[in-house]
């Protein structure tokens, strides 16, 4: 989607710029990716077909082991957490173990943390299972994955495993064969734009159309990056404009890059060098 498409979507969502005002100070210490993390399937942005399939698992209560694969910042772990809440309700806190496999990637975490959790007795409604959530599961070593496969087999009657991965091909085939593999795609500019504007309004944060379009541009389909960049801009300037966004993100303004390339095409090295220095 082009930059012009993004601006057109801004017009459709809110044709008038918001009135400048101070940013909302409530929960200012909380990262916006957590503050605005979806709690239910209905709140998840994008990948509607896959989300609806998981919602069916939640309604029937018969969820298999799952792998959600896709690029960063598209809601893989958030979706798994929504599924766990829908399945477990008030038992969520006691019946869910969430680990980041990029930090806990060795065989010891499987033998200790995961196996101990799988062995714990937790009272759950009939047909429900404890859930182990492994974020960035493709970071696990081969030895850890082999140990995880054995644990999945041994505790299949009491525990389900939900893995989020950027690249499912890095997960060994014996684990993949025991899971429903679901794939997420990058979010569209329009989807990210709508969420960015929603957060701006919730935070009482002033913005221009070009400003929120710049946030979308820097995100490249990653909603987590978009919200992090938006929050950094709000904290640094209390107003979202293109100059503020690109300064916070430490990226050159696209128009400056365009001017530099056009100067190179014309053979105007002096002008290209000048544009490069401005960048």
Supply the mean pLDDT for the chain: 85
For the chain, what are the domain ranges?
Answer: 3-24+188-278, 47-183
Per-residue confidence band for 3, with pLDDT thresholds at 50, 70 and 90: very low
Give yes or no for a contact between 179 and 63, defined as CB atoms under 8 angstroms apart: no
**Residues of 202-225 as b/e, b for ≥16 C-beta within 10 angstroms?**
ebebbbbbbbbbbbbbbbebbbbb
Judge: domain 3-24+188-278, CATH 3.40.50.10490: no
Distance CA 182, CA 168 (A): 10
Least confident of 121-125, 174-178, 183-187: 121-125
249 or 185, higher pLDDT: 185
Q: Which helix (H) or strand (E) holds 237?
A: helix 223-237
Whether residue 11 has pLDDT greater than 50: no
Q: Is the dihedral of CA 167, 98, 102, 28 positive or negative?
A: positive
Beta bridge pairs of residue 164: 68
DSSP 8-state class, residue 43: G
Whether residue 272 has pLDDT greater than 80: no
Task: Tally Cβ neighbours within 10 Å of residue 166.
Answer: 15
Question: pLDDT exceeding 70 applies to what percent of the chain?
Answer: 81
Phi-psi region for residue 267, left (φ > 0), alpha (ψ -120 to 50) or beta?
A: left
**pLDDT in the model for residue 126:** 84
The pair of three-digit structure tokens given for residue 101, joined into one six-digit string: 């496999």
Give residue 21's Cα distance to chain centre: 28
**pLDDT in the model for residue 14:** 47
77 or 260, higher pLDDT: 77
Distance CA 5, CA 7 (A): 5
80 or 11, higher pLDDT: 80
CATH code reported for the domain at 47-183: 3.40.50.300
């Amino acid at each position: 989607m082009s930059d012009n498409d993004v601006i057109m979507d801004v017009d459709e969502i809110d044709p008038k710029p918001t009135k400048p005002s101070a940013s909302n100070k409530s929960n200012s210490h909380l990262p916006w990716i957590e503050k605005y993390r979806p709690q239910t399937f209905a709140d998840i942005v994008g990948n509607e077909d896959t989300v609806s399939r998981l919602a069916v698992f939640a309604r029937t209560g018969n969820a298999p082991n799952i792998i959600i694969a896709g690029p960063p910042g598209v809601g893989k772990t958030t979706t798994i957490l929504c599924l766990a809440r829908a399945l477990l309700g008030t038992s969520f806190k006691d019946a869910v173990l969430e680990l980041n496999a990029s930090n806990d990637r060795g065989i010891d975490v499987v033998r200790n943390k995961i196996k101990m959790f799988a062995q714990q007795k937790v009272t759950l409604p009939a047909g429900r299972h404890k859930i182990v959530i492994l974020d960035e599961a493709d970071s696990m070593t081969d030895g850890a994955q082999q140990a995880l496969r054995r644990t999945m087999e041994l505790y299949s009657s009491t525990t389900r495993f939900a893995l989020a991965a950027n690249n499912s091909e890095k997960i060994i085939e014996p684990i993949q064969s025991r899971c429903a593999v679901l794939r997420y795609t990058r979010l569209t500019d329009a989807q990210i734009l709508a969420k960015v504007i929603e957060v701006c309004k919730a935070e009482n944060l002033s913005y221009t159309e070009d400003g929120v379009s710049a946030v979308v541009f820097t995100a490249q389909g990653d909603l987590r990056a978009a919200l992090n960049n938006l929050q950094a801009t709000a904290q640094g300037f209390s107003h979202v404009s293109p100059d503020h966004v690109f300064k916070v993100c430490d990226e050159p303004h696209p128009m400056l890059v365009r001017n530099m390339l056009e100067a190179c095409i014309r053979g105007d090295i002096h002008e290209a060098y000048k544009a490069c220095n401005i960048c």
